[in-house]
Homo-oligomer: A and B are copies of this chain.
Amino acid sequence: MTRHEPLRADTDRERVLFTAARLFREYGFDKTTVRQIAEACDLLPGSLHYRYRAKEDILVDMMRVAIEKTIHGITEATTGTEDPLQQVRAALQAHIEVLLSGDDMTYVLLFEWRSLRGAARKEMIRERDRYERCWATMLEALKEQGLIRQDVDTHLLRLIGLGAINWMATWYKKGGKYSLEEIGESLWSIISRGILVPTHADMRKI
């Protein structure tokens, strides 16, 4: 995708990705021009082209970084405990933090996958599935251990829960009415009461 393997120094690569992500988020992928990106990076279009042959390659590379960061985020958050309930709670908060803590790449990952076609789109769908499998594993563990009601479909639960979080990127404003902790707490309050079996309701306050 880029001209060289392995990639150039991360500082250089990430400077471009960081800058491009900000522009893609503000103007959208299609409305952002390669000249804009180059200028914002203090590069001339030709120099940017040396790093990424095509505009789409920037988007793909950015999404790879974003998904890696997200997976790393929830992996790190869940390694602190063996309790499956606390793991889910921590992963929820981690996903919220990664998405809403001003990370433009994650935002772009969520809202610009429609700009990709063919092989690039397929790759990103595979990557997304890789991430969602982390969640599937956690939720199925909850169910197997009898912590959540048997009539809860864990697949639907995952889609609904992650959907609620992902959509937050459309309305959350840093420094606004709600903190990330409040948001996570509210969501968990609703979901935990919504899915846990009554006998475990006392465990929900973690």
Bound Cα distance A183, B114 (Å): 24
Which of under 10, 10 to 19, 20 to 34, or 35 or more describes the interface residues of A?
Answer: 35 or more
Bound Cα distance A113, B120 (Å): 25
Given A30-B28, A30-B31, CB of A186 within 8 Å of CB of B156: yes
**Which of A35-43, A44-52, A70-78, A161-169 lies at the binding interface?**
A161-169
The B-contacting residues of A in range 112-144, CB under 8 angstroms, are 114-115
Residue in chain B with minimal CB distance to A166: B167
- A115 and B178 form a contact (CB under 8 A): no
Partner-B contacts on A (CB < 8 A): 28, 30-31, 111, 114-115, 151-153, 155-157, 159-168, 170-171, 177-178, 182-183, 186-187, 189-195
A-B pairs, top 9 by smallest CB distance, nearest first, are: A163-B167, A30-B30, A190-B194, A194-B194, A164-B164, A193-B194, A163-B164, A156-B186, A160-B164
